[in-house]
Amino acid sequence: MLIGKKGEAKTAIETADSASITVRGKDLCNEIMGHASIAEFFYFHLTGKEPNAEQEYFLNLLIIALAEHGLTPSVQAARMTLAAAPEALQGAVAAGLLGVGTVILGSADVCGGMLDDAAGRVEAGKSPEKAALEIAEEYKAAGKFIPGFGHPIHHPVDPRAERIMALADERGVSGRHVDALRPFPAAVEKVWGKKLPMNIQGPMAAVLLDLDFPKAAIRGIPILARTIGLIGHLNEEMERPIGFLLAHYGEEAIEYDGD
């Protein structure tokens, strides 16, 4: 029984024969290997097109910016999983990636939708400040956290967010989404009554959308970046294990209050 929409039995990504591997119409060994960076290959594999210089630059920048941020919940889950199953590196990586969600690391696509909305309101005649304020008020009225704002460590600003915005301006790639994002910090502060730092997710979404990166694939960049970071932590876990210590002190910190 076929479930869901019927699609064509075709793929445009890869084919192979006894002597070659073809990816998006290019010979893997002779045209891609030794010629493309990870960012170039990622974009090419995703879209079938070669990235321009700015698309490659910001993909590299964002992957590096997102790869590492200490003993985050996803890293702790990965290290504890490897401690329990040292033969399963892939299982430990998977355990860490399952922690990439809208609360931690994975809200850039939601930010992208919000910025599309803001840019659309500006193009309909509203000022960027008015559009940002309206959207902030709508999120607050609905009892929702506004994506791209707040961070448990970085106050009053996330240095990564500032760096991305500065480089977008410096390299001339800022467009309608970056411009739509600029008034949000003031709008959020006004509506919430306190300063919430703009985190990396907003600038990431804004720059990628202004660079015509596929909107549906924006969440994939944190996943790719965090995979790199997890492998580094898991390599250290093999050499300097702390997975069981994390589990021990996590349990020690919780007080039992059952009957």
Cα→Cα distances 27→21, 47, 258, Å: 6, 16, 63
What is this structure's pTM? 0.92
Element (H or E) spanning 122, and its range? helix 108-123
Over the range 199-235, which residues count as b (16 or more CB within 10 Å of their CB) and which as e?
bbbbbbbbbbbbbebeeebbbbbbebbbbebbbebbe
| Structure confidence at residue 156 (pLDDT) | 87
The Cβ of residue 140 has, within 10 Å, a number of other Cβ atoms equal to 15
Give residue 2's pLDDT: 79
pLDDT per residue as tens, the chain (259 positions):
778 888 888 999 999 999 999 999 999 999 999 999 999 999 999 999 999 999 999 999 999 999 999 999 999 999 999 999 999 999 999 999 998 888 887 789 999 999 999 999 999 999 999 999 999 999 999 999 899 999 889 988 899 999 999 999 999 999 999 999 999 999 999 999 999 999 999 999 999 999 999 998 999 999 999 999 999 999 999 999 999 999 999 999 999 999 8
Task: Give the span between the Cα atoms of 126 and 206, in whole angstroms.
Answer: 19
Which domains can be identified in the chain, with CATH numbers?
A: 14-51 (no CATH), 108-217 (1.10.230.10)
| Whole-number pLDDT of residue 7 | 83
Q: 79: which residues sit within 8 A by CB, 6+ positions away?
A: 71, 92, 233, 234, 237, 242, 243, 246
